[in-house]
Structure 1
Amino acid sequence: MRHLTRRAFLPFAAVAPRAISQVAQSASHHSESDHDANYTMWFRSPASNWIDALSIGNGRLGGMVFGGATEDRISLNEDTLYSGYPSDGNNPGAKNKLAAVRKAVLEDENNHLADQICKEMQGPYGEAYQPLGDMYVTLTGDAESHEEVREYRRELNLDTAIARTTFRLGNVHVTKQCFVSHPDNVLVMSIDASEPVTVTVRLDSQLQHVADVNDAAFVIRGKAPVVSRPNYLKTDNPIQYSDEAGKGMYFVSEARVLSKDGKRAAQ
């Protein structure tokens, strides 16, 4: 897999039906052991909220795996994607308030007043970490399966850092495994099914973006906002974008489908 610099490209999200990497295969066999059971979190239903999803990552690229059987979602994060742009965050008038703070504390013994004055010494709000986007993976079986999901289980192995989802879709046994490779800087989802299934992959983002699909990849290109106010600050326009070059961080996310026994098609 080719090397991408940190700034030139944000992460690939690779989905590989029936093409489990050696890392995933090794972890799959290892997860059968008693040792592994001590380091595994498992659930009998998919996550309905972000906080209940299973987290994977390599320190730079992260994903929250919801583990849906026929409709799965992975929320994507990249550690350098923030709002704003390079600017001076200092408050030049802060030093002029210092004497008043000292007086309030030492002479007036009015800590409440000192706290109010201290707020006038603060700089502007810091920039906000931004979500890269979401990858959605839809899986359907043959016409006779009737989309009936049985024997569902999702788990996160804390030793191997692999999220695994297993279930039966009608008579088809499906295993999905997700991990983030540190050497390759990619997030991988492998899908293995006992019978042919149809897998649909798409990317989306809460940030402004455009999408492009071809036979090789699904790509979204976007730009982070220049202003992203905290939700506890009441304002009419908390999220602001700019078309000016240098204001707002650009990002790219790409999903590739690699199939061992199947066919690919772009829509």
Structure 2
Amino acid sequence: MRFASSGGYSVLHSSGLQHWFKNWQGLRKHKLTASTFAAAVGFFHRRRLQLWLEKIGAIEPFSGNLATCWSNIKEEEALERYKLITGNSVLFPEFQVYGNRNAGDDWLGASPDGVVDRLVYGLPSRGVLEIKCPFFDGNMKKATPWSRIPLYCVPQAQGLMEILDRDWMDFYVWTPKGSSLFRVYRDAEYWDVLKMVLSDFWWNHVQPAREICSKSQITDPLLELRSLKPAPRHEMCSYIVYESKRVVDSSKLLMREINGKLIN
């Protein structure tokens, strides 16, 4: 199969709008990465089918939009604010593959924003950092830091903690008007269900379609591979949404500031 091509150059691909250290597109291409876990489950309308088409090579992988460009150019500023607020030192690991610890799971990967290693009462405390710089459709008048973690962020959060083998996550939300910091904890039961759904997407839909595409000329995958096309939502999607609410309810809002003032 051949990738569809727009035939032109998008300003969104300019070097100044790319992430300041994550240049891992090639490594991500043939993996299911944490940032796509919610889509693979079916959290977003039509995104599950689009992700399937991307992973079998029928269309080009998602390469960014205005929201991701905003996040790319603001994340370094957000990181400095996070370090100032918490006093934490942040390390920047390479792209992580789950199979490094679990043979046979190398189809899962993650690109963390950073990791945090601390000592608490003399014992190691291992965390991962996730930074969000929401775009608000470009309307910065609405740009106030979240007071609650969106449910669609939970699959990514739990995936990052599992793949990096971390116990907790600092989920930091930055806006021009202020920021908020949440603590999320690793949930093994949540991951077990999530991984089952991800495995179904990968092994029952992506991989069989890939094998056919490698041997045959496919011009219309939606028609010719319709038996392998995933449903818009996995049958366990509603359950995972419900469990995501439980995870969010158990997370802790550590800090929320607006215009330099702490908000209770």
User: Is the TM value for this pair above 0.5?
Assistant: no
| Greater percentage in strand | 1
TM-score band, normalised by the shorter chain? under 0.3
* TM-score of the superposed pair, with normalisation by structure 2: 0.22
Greater share of residues in helix: 2
**Rg larger in structure:** 1
